[in-house]
């Protein structure tokens, strides 16, 4: 199982949207995918239509259930869901080895899926560190604005620390420009700046850019994936192009 985290230090940049569209894109390519929600907001769990009751990521990290027990076969795919109970993890996970809880928990199901896609919260606490420690690959969505650029530097610091202490083999596959408005002049300048930052971090900006479009919100409101809901939308085309770019770049499972 190849584990891919979608992470950024900033809120609202398209992490959950990207995790969902990436996972479903891989499913359309014929791969088996496990969605993993590591965000107490539970946005991915909602979009996948996970049930409210049942075991969650919190129970898994507390070692009260196994990964197999925590997997739901929901309408939108297989998922280990999360809800607001997960916000306690920051306080309760204090012991040595707390960064490895997710990695350990996933070991028992590593031969069941081709890919696991982890959605993360917009902060760099113990949850995001667990995600990066358990991952082979990181994808960092960003919008083309100044705050996102700053946030990328914060993420860089966390990536360095995780690589040094927890997961030396973590690969930062790239920065994905999301919610892009091609008409804005400023957007173009920012995209150039983002390229500079990517170079300094030792990664790249993906060639594919995800355009802003109403279909994304509509699909989420209906708990559908973008390819089923609006197959002809810009977002469906862009996200599929991104999946192809990622696979062509050698991010194959196993
Ligand atoms: N390409 C897009 N076009 C239009 N709207 C989008 C696009 N991508 C994301 N959005 C919308 O922007 C909002 C934020 O997206 P999303 O929830 O994926 O970001 P996030 O980084 O996961 O946020 P958070 O940090 O709160 O978890 C959502 O309402 C989503 O529907
Ligand atoms: Mg989110």
d(CA 14, CA 7): 9
Please give the pLDDT value at position 208.
96
Going by pLDDT thresholds of 50, 70 and 90, the confidence category of residue 112 is very high
Give distance in angstroms: CA of 211 to centre of ligand 1.
12
Going by pLDDT thresholds of 50, 70 and 90, the confidence category of residue 149 is confident
Per residue in 38-76, pLDDT tens?
999 999 999 999 998 899 999 999 999 999 999 999 999
**Domains of the chain: which residue ranges?**
2-248
Mean pLDDT of the chain: 93
The answer to whether residues 229 and 47 touch, using CB atoms and an 8 Å cutoff, is no
Give distance in angstroms: CA of 109 to centre of ligand 2.
24
Nearest atom in ligand 1 to 19's CA: 18
**Per-residue DSSP letters for 116-149?**
EEEE--SS-SHHHHHHHHH-SEEEEEE-SSHHHH
> Residues 161-168: what's their mean pLDDT?
95
> Residues 157-171: what's their mean pLDDT?
94
Give distance in angstroms: CA of 13 to centre of ligand 1.
6
Ligand nearest to the CA of 18: 1
Residue 5 per-residue DSSP state: E
Going by pLDDT thresholds of 50, 70 and 90, the confidence category of residue 186 is low
The residues near 72 (Cβ < 8 Å, ≥ 6 apart) are 50, 51, 54, 78, 79, 80, 81
Whose CA is closest to atom 25 on ligand 1?
Answer: 11
Residues above pLDDT 90, as percent of the chain: 80
Please give the pLDDT value at position 185.
67
Whose CA is closest to atom 8 on ligand 1?
Answer: 14
Per residue in 117-136, pLDDT tens?
999 999 889 999 999 999 99
> Residues 170-194: what's their mean pLDDT?
84
CA torsion 25→27→32→35, rounded to 10°? 60
Nearest atom in ligand 1 to 121's CA: 27
Most ligand 1 atoms within 8 A of CB, residue of 9, 14, 230 to mutate: 14
Give distance in angstroms: CA of 248 to centre of ligand 1.
26
Residue 101 confidence (pLDDT) above 50: yes
Query: Residues lining ligand 1, judged by CB closer than 6 Å?
Result: 11-17, 39, 41, 43, 122, 178-179, 210, 212-213, 216-217, 220, 235
Q: From 3.40.50.2000, 3.40.1080.10, 3.40.720.10, 3.40.50.300, which CATH number describes the 2-248 domain?
A: 3.40.50.300
Per residue in 226-246, pLDDT tens?
999 999 999 999 999 999 999
Give distance in angstroms: CA of 6 to centre of ligand 2.
9
Please give the pLDDT value at position 254.
43
* Backbone dihedral region for residue 64 (phi beyond 0: left; psi -120 to 50: alpha; all else: beta): alpha
Residue 205 per-residue DSSP state: E
> What's the sign of the alpha-carbon dihedral 250, 3, 13, 199?
negative
> Residues 123-150: what's their mean pLDDT?
93
The residues near 96 (Cβ < 8 Å, ≥ 6 apart) are none
pTM of the model: 0.96
Buried b (16+ CB within 10 A) or exposed e, 223-253: ebbbbebbeebbbbbbbbbbbebbeeeebeb
Going by pLDDT thresholds of 50, 70 and 90, the confidence category of residue 250 is confident
3-state secondary structure (DSSP) of residue 163? helix
Give distance in angstroms: CA of 165 to centre of ligand 1.
31
């Amino acid at each position: 199982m190849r584990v891919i985290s979608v992470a950024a230090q900033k809120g609202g940049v398209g992490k959950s949207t990207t995790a969902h569209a990436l996972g479903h894109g891989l499913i359309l390519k014929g791969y088996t995918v496990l969605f993993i929600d590591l965000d107490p907001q539970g946005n991915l769990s909602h979009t996948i239509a996970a049930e409210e009751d049942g075991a969650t990521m919190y129970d898994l990290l507390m070692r009260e259930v196994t990964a197999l027990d925590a997997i739901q076969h929901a309408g939108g795919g297989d998922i280990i869901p999360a809800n607001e109970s997960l916000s306690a993890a920051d306080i309760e996970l204090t012991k040595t080895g707390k960064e490895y809880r997710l990695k350990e928990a996933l070991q028992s199901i590593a031969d069941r899926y081709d890919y696991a896609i982890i959605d993360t919260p917009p902060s760099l606490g113990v949850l995001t560190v667990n995600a990066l420690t358990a991952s082979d690959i990181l994808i960092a969505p960003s919008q083309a604005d100044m705050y996102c650029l700053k946030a990328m530097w914060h993420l860089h610091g966390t990536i360095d620390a995780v690589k040094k202490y927890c997961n030396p083999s973590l690969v930062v596959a790239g920065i994905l420009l999301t919610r892009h408005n091609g008409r804005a002049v400023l957007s173009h300048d920012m995209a150039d700046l983002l390229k500079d930052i990517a170079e300094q971090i030792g990664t790249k900006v993906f060639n594919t850019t995800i355009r802003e479009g109403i279909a994304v919100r509509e699909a989420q409101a209906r708990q559908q994936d973008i390819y089923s809901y609006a197959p002809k939308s810009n977002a469906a085309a862009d996200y599929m192009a991104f999946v192809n770019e990622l696979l062509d770049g050698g991010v194959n499972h196993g």
